[in-house]
Structure 1
Amino acid sequence: MSRIAAAAASYAGLIFAAGFVLGTLRVLVLVPRIGAVWAEAIEVPIMLALSFLVARWQVARHGVPARLPLRLAMGGVAFILLMSAEIALGVIGFGQPLAEVLTGYGDPQRWIGLGGQIVFGLMPVLLLLRGTRP
């Protein structure tokens, strides 16, 4: 089980780092020009492409077996870690109250990103279903 946790942690960490960079660019460059919804709609497919590549790499690197329960575990743990890091960034990094960070997910404008994060969590399973080899 430790290889699943290691794969999930590295997958979540790498995608969080990429999301931090792309999110900064989105907020500073795209949002003022095209608005938050369109900026998010541009960022999410890029993040999902990165998620595909990183998930495939981490599955191979950590030898995660092609078994549905193990891939669900990897994706579920990665999703929890990613969401925890995002919430911590909002609270600790940006000084937002926890309640504000959590209620922000109810904003329809944030649903595009949340949908992408859910697909991120499902990516190890999607790789399995697609039959993608590392």
Structure 2
Amino acid sequence: MDAVPAEPTAPLRFAVAYFGAVFVAGFVLGVVRTLWLAPAVGPLAAVALELPLMLGFSAFIAGRLLRRWPLSRGTAALAGALALLLLLAAEAGVSLLAGRDLAAHWALYRAAEAQLGLAGQLVFGLLPALRANQKAP
């Protein structure tokens, strides 16, 4: 049977905590990828090497947060979608802080490495629903 949130704000709290933890980890790994890994192996290979780490971390965090805020699969899917929107908005915000306008930010997605990263972000959004009702490590 699906778990029910203990409080009405649980999906929102889950989404914000999930987004925050993964965004911080992604920011740190993104700096490593950009400054050291990409120059050595190329941008696409660098993203391909970073992606399993990020998705593994995302799955771990989703599981841990689901222990704190047990959500049904449907509610977890909603929380994951909200976390994805927060992640995409934060990424656009970082792009704006870097001096790009929104058109230039969206143009980045023409590159294969950005498309691979976006695919990973979509999986990030799905992970809470996939992890719902599973035992967390």
TM-score between both structures, scaled by the size of structure 1: 0.91
Structure 1 counterpart of 2:111:
107
Q: What residue in structure 2 maps to residue 132 of structure 1?
A: 134
Distance in 2 between residues matched to 1:119 and 1:109, nearest whole Å: 15
Query: Per-residue deviation at 1:125?
Result: 1.1
Q: Deviations over 1:87-129 (max 9, x none)?
A: 101102x11111110121232231111111000000011113x
Which one of 49, 55, 73 corresponds to residue 56 of structure 2?
Answer: 49
- Aligned pairs for 1:82-121 (under 5 A) are 82-92=87-97, 94-121=98-125
Structure 1 residue runs of 4 or more that deviate by more than 4 Å after TM superposition: none
One-letter amino acid of the structure 1 residue matched with residue 28 of structure 2 = V
For 1:20-31, what aligned pairs fall within 5 Å after superposition? 20-31=27-38
* Residue segments in structure 1 that go unaligned for 5+ positions in a row: none
Amino acid at match of 1:89: V
Find the counterpart in structure 1 of residue 70 from structure 2.
64
RMSD: 1.2
Q: Hey, what's the Cα distance between the residues in 1 that align with 2:110 and 2:9?
A: 34
Say whether the 8 Å CA contact 2:73–2:130 is kept in structure 1: no
- Aligned with 1:123 (options 107, 124, 127): 127
Partner Cα separation in structure 2 for residue 29 and residue 125 of structure 1: 34
Decide whether the 8 Å contact of 1:7 with 1:64 is kept in 2.
no
Q: Which residue of 2 aligns with 1:74?
A: 79
Which residue of the partner structure matches residue 3 of structure 2?
Answer: none
CA distance in 2, matches of 1:10, 1:77: 11
Q: CA deviation at 1:54?
A: 0.6
So what's the TM-score if we normalise by structure 2?
A: 0.89
What is the number of residues matched between the two proteins?
A: 129
5+ long unaligned stretches in structure 2: 1-7
Higher helix share: 1
